[in-house]
Amino acid sequence: MTMDWATANAPRILIIIVTWNKKDYVLNLLGSLDSLSYPREALEVVVVDNASEDGTVEALKQQYPHVNLLCNEENLGGTGGFNTGLAWAFQQAEGRYQYLWLLDNDVLVHRDALSELVDVLEQQADIAVAGSTMMQLDYPWRINEMGAYVDRGLGQLMLNRHLEEIQPWQGRPVNELLQTTADLSKQLMHCQPYMDVDYVAAASLLIRADVAKQAGLWRDYFIHFDDVEWCLRIRDMRHRVVVSAKSLIWHLSAAAKVPTWVLYYDNRNILDMLKMHGASPAHLHNVKTYILKKAVYYHLIGKSDLAQLHHDAVDDFNSNQLGKKAIRLDYQYQSNDKVASVFADNKIKRVLLSWTANLQATGMQEALIQACLQRPELQVECLTVAGITPVFQLPNPSFVTFPASRLRRYWYYWRLRNHYDLVIQSDYEVFPLVSWLGKEVLFINDEGFSRRPCPQWKNVWQAGWRWLGSRFSKG
């Protein structure tokens, strides 16, 4: 049961928030702190701004003058931002704060989220870090992660209870759930009030102030895996890291975010993190080989610049390069409301729509219909596979049905390569060989689209040789 904290006995907590060009998000988060069940008088807030250009600093000074505002001269990423806040905290008088609460600037926080974390640390002296269960903002009844473990063999995070759903909450809006009783240990089978994990995300992480100071600043990753490495470091100091099933936050799920430039940091940083925590040269070699294999995949689907990020990640790790990298991608994403210009291009006359590309979800159906009305020569065919119920997305659709047999399907891929001027693929479920059917590929997701040339055999060949060379070498 949550303790009813009175101001007199409530441990003092410093809240550290990092923000960059998310003015409305951080203002909403600061406003929501007044709704916490924890005594507001026991809280102090520091906001670290990473050189925002959207008026964040001015708005914070005007609306929250009591907040400690630290302004970095450039965007230092999540790593540099939190390090700025942590360094400031470490300089304060000893004992000024008992705990530090690290928060993402774009989360929604349950009213009891902080109180539950404090309860865990107050009742268990051997626990140094307690984190919140992260729910999905787009599906508020679904768990995104209840902490996570590190698969050191594959170099991947294994999200605990990922995608499990709270059935009584299904369909309820997040604003309603923010105020409801939230104890997932009573909603899920075999779920304890808190459990030991390898790491909890700094989207909501409460740590003992003295342990944080002993652990020191985050390793310079710029973004991603910095909080993971910190938690592993703290566990190496023989402290426990736990996640609470009674402390909840809501955050946009990773499934709704299509990875682009972050792939570089994900792959480089996981290698460094594994090395920092005891991975052998042979183990690191295996993970590097897996990263090079992923580069082949990105060449196969037609995202050569993202494939290069995987190669850069391995090369920079081998050169001991950390920190921020100047990344320049060949092809950027544009807002979906600009897609009409693509369909109006006179070079595009034959279009193939993959069955996983959802025109309704992306808001592109109307633009494609209007293009068909204005351009009688424009032909749109919908790709489906025998045995799968066809997906109807257009009036009077023309279907191209590929065989269910994989070998026969490969023959169709070969026969129809470059047959279409444009292939539309979903970023959420990409079929590599489908990209080879068009002269160009349009990758679409719920927020944007990227128009790219078709894959090139030369790129696949070169990446494949590098991967195979790594796979069969001794490292």
Q: What is the pLDDT of residues 115-163, one digit of tens each?
A: 999 999 999 999 999 999 999 988 999 999 999 999 887 778 899 999 8
Residue 367: what pLDDT?
A: 95
**How far is Cα 395 from Cα 384, in angstroms, rounded to an integer?**
16
Residue 3 binned pLDDT confidence (cut-offs 50, 70, 90)? low
Tokens of 357: 């590309």
107 pLDDT higher than 60: yes
Beta bridge partners of 443: 425, 450
Q: Comparing 314 with 34, which gets the higher pLDDT?
A: 314
Q: What is the pLDDT of residues 61-101, one digit of tens each?
A: 999 999 999 999 999 999 999 999 999 999 999 999 999 99
Q: What's the chain's average pLDDT?
A: 93
Residue 7: what pLDDT?
A: 65
Alpha helix ranges (H) inside 179-303: 209-215, 226-236, 262-276, 281-301
Mean pLDDT of the region 353-370? 94
Residue whose entry in the numeric block shows the structure tokens 């470091």 = 233
Residue 230: what pLDDT?
A: 98
What is the chain's Cα-based Rg? Answer: 25
Residue whose entry in the numeric block shows the structure tokens 């949550």 = 2
- Its CATH class, for the domain covering 334-446, is alpha beta
Contact between residue 232 and residue 273 where contact means Cβ atoms under 8 Å apart: yes
The SS3 assignment for 314 reads helix
Residue 257: what pLDDT?
A: 74
**DSSP code per residue over 67-86:** SEEEE-SS--HHHHHHHHHH
Model pTM? 0.92
Q: Output DSSP code: residue 147.
A: S
Mean pLDDT of the region 7-21? 90
The residue among 49, 67, 64 whose CA lies nearest residue 105 is 49
Residue 51: what pLDDT?
A: 94
- Its CATH class, for the domain covering 13-256, is alpha beta
**How far is Cα 295 from Cα 464, in angstroms, rounded to an integer?**
8
Residue whose entry in the numeric block shows the structure tokens 């105020």 = 179
Tokens of 224: 């991603």
Q: What is the pLDDT of residues 268-324, one digit of tens each?
A: 999 999 999 999 999 999 999 999 999 999 999 999 999 999 999 999 999 999 999
Torsion sign over Cα 157, 163, 169, 170: positive
Residue 253: what pLDDT?
A: 74
Residue 6 binned pLDDT confidence (cut-offs 50, 70, 90)? low
The SS3 assignment for 158 reads strand
**How far is Cα 298 from Cα 293, in angstroms, rounded to an integer?**
9
Give buried/exposed letters for 244-253 (b at 16+ CB in 10 A, else e): bbbbbbbbeb
% of the chain at pLDDT higher than 90: 83
338 pLDDT higher than 80: yes
Contact between residue 15 and residue 36 where contact means Cβ atoms under 8 Å apart: no
Residue 435: what pLDDT?
A: 96
Residue 464 binned pLDDT confidence (cut-offs 50, 70, 90)? very high
Residues of the chain with CATH 3.90.550.60: 13-256
32 pLDDT higher than 80: yes
Q: In sequence order, which residues have a C-beta less than 8 Å from that of residue 143 and are 6 or more positions away?
A: 133, 134, 135, 136, 161, 162, 163, 164, 165, 166, 184
Residue 387 binned pLDDT confidence (cut-offs 50, 70, 90)? confident
Q: Is 435 left (phi over 0), alpha (psi -120 to 50) or beta?
A: alpha
Q: What is the pLDDT of residues 399-435, one digit of tens each?
A: 999 998 988 989 999 999 999 999 999 999 999 999 9
**How far is Cα 344 from Cα 278, in angstroms, rounded to an integer?**
55
